[in-house]
Amino acid sequence: MAENRDLIDASVLLGELKNASQNMGGVISAIQDIAKQTNLLSLNSAIEAARAGEAGRGFSVVAEEIKKLSVRSFEATKESGTMISDIVERANEVMGIRTADVAYDVIDKVDRNLFERNCDAQAWAKFDKVQQCLTIGDAAAVRTGNDFLQTIVEIYEVYMDLFILDPEGKIVAAGVNRGSIGKSMADRSWFQEVQQAQDIAVSDVYFTHVDNRPTVAYSCPIRAEDGAVIGYFSSRFNWDFIYDIIDSAKIGKNGRVYLVNQAGVVIATKDRHDILRTDLRHNPAVKKAISGETYGYVMQQSSGGRTEIIGYAHTRGYNAYKGKHWSAIVSEIL
């Protein structure tokens, strides 16, 4: 049971270690007080032995031994106090490294997941059924394209919708929201980004216009055999799958996990309520992460006077996917 608990809530165990160390420190402080009183007693005994002259010589030896005992006791407690302080410091360092490791694991899983989404969009843009929606463009070709996109959404599950757009940004085919067909996306930032890049483009997190859910758009050009751009393919990633990564992070009951964008704004957390609302850029760990520091932790006092350890890890991307300058932040209260 203890082994399982250590894996699940190391912050509690380290907190208990610190409490035990502080209790031990209280015991040592009491021993130091006794040592001081013993030293004072030996001094008084030596004075009385000197007054007694020859008759007090034996008592003088005893008084000297008592003094040596008090000195040794005092030195021992000083060394023990130093050792306890060192244990507490090392416990904090262990917890700091652990929170940074959890943050690294979160951002790595996010990058791996989004790398696959990056590859999906580029691969599907080359499929004949996608290209024929634009090269043939008749009702039969569009119907085939719609069915193809719908099948992908049903099989992969990680997408809310898929779209084929003409060069001007009008939706030609859709996997789920067929009511969007014929609408222009030319004023949407995600479309302008892919149109300008003429290559795979990944949006930041935003809320969809259809059902107000957070998503990320992966968009890339659809090219003819001669390389000319004939339209665009765009996917809508289901952000719930990022929450799955956040929820599975191994943290204590007082811990928090955040995913923040390059501005330090929360884009994912366990409670789901802070998305694109909470700005953490003034948090010391977030400052380090969004400035480009790849990994580390900071310590500070929480509002309740307890020690807060905040680990951070900045995206390194994954293979061809360069990432969006996002960071994972993990906070533990000891």
Are the C-beta atoms of 111 and 321 separated by less than 8 Å? yes
Q: In percent, how much of the chain has pLDDT > 70?
A: 73
CA distance 51 to 263: 79
- How far are the Cα atoms of 7, 95, 110 from residue 250, in angstroms, in the given order? 8, 13, 15
Q: What is the pLDDT of residue 316?
A: 86
331: β partners: 256, 310
Beta-carbon contacts of 160 under 8 Å, excluding residues fewer than 6 positions away, are 153, 176, 208, 213, 215, 236, 237, 238
Are the C-beta atoms of 135 and 143 separated by less than 8 Å? no
Q: What is the pLDDT of residue 262?
A: 93
Are the C-beta atoms of 257 and 251 separated by less than 8 Å? yes
330: β partners: 257, 311
Q: What is the pLDDT of residue 1?
A: 35
pLDDT category, 10, cuts 50, 70, 90?
Answer: low
Q: What is the pLDDT of residue 3?
A: 39
Q: What is the pLDDT of residue 129?
A: 95
**CATH top class, domain 2-97:** mainly alpha
pLDDT at 47 over 70: no
Backbone angles phi, psi at 139, to 5 degrees: -60, -40
Q: What is the pLDDT of residue 8?
A: 45
pLDDT category, 255, cuts 50, 70, 90?
Answer: confident
pLDDT at 107 over 80: yes
Other Cβ atoms within 10 Å of 307 Cβ, number = 18
Q: What is the pLDDT of residue 40?
A: 58
Mean pLDDT of the chain: 82
Q: What is the pLDDT of residue 65?
A: 59
pLDDT category, 264, cuts 50, 70, 90?
Answer: very high
H/E segment holding residue 40: helix 10-52
pTM: 0.77
pLDDT tens-digit series, residues 50-86: 665 555 555 555 556 555 665 666 565 565 556 666 6
pLDDT at 266 over 90: yes
116-240 shares its CATH topology with 249-333: yes
CA distance 334 to 95: 9
Beta-carbon contacts of 167 under 8 Å, excluding residues fewer than 6 positions away, are 229, 230, 231, 232
pLDDT tens-digit series, residues 125-183: 999 999 999 999 899 999 999 999 999 999 999 999 999 999 999 999 999 999 999 99
pLDDT tens-digit series, residues 273-325: 789 999 999 999 999 999 989 999 998 877 777 788 899 999 988 877 788 89
Q: What is the pLDDT of residue 93?
A: 80
Higher pLDDT among residues 76 and 116, named by residue: 116
Backbone angles phi, psi at 201, to 5 degrees: -135, 135
* Closest-CA residue to 300 (of 279, 275, 331): 331
Residue type, 248: S
Domain 249-333 bears CATH identifier 3.30.450.20: yes
Q: What is the pLDDT of residue 319?
A: 79
Q: Which two tokens stand for residue 323?
A: 């990432």
CA distance 14 to 11: 5
pLDDT category, 7, cuts 50, 70, 90?
Answer: very low
Q: What is the pLDDT of residue 4?
A: 40
Q: Is 183 exposed, middle or buried (0-12, 13-18, 19+ CB in 10 A)?
A: middle
CA distance 165 to 163: 6
Reported in sequence order, the residue ranges of the chain that DSSP labels E, i.e. its strands, are: 159-165, 171-174, 201-202, 206-207, 214-223, 229-238, 256-260, 266-269, 295-301, 307-314, 327-333
Q: What is the pLDDT of residue 6?
A: 41
Domain 116-240 bears CATH identifier 2.40.420.20: no
Please give the full DSSP string across 216-260, using - where no structure is assigned: EEEEEEEE-TTS-EEEEEEEEEETHHHHHHHHTS---TT-EEEEE
pLDDT at 19 over 70: no
pLDDT category, 37, cuts 50, 70, 90?
Answer: low
* Closest-CA residue to 153 (of 209, 237, 39, 243): 237
pLDDT at 88 over 70: no
Of 99-108, 142-151, 245-254, the range with the lowest mean pLDDT is: 245-254
Q: Domain extents for the chain?
A: 2-97, 116-240, 249-333
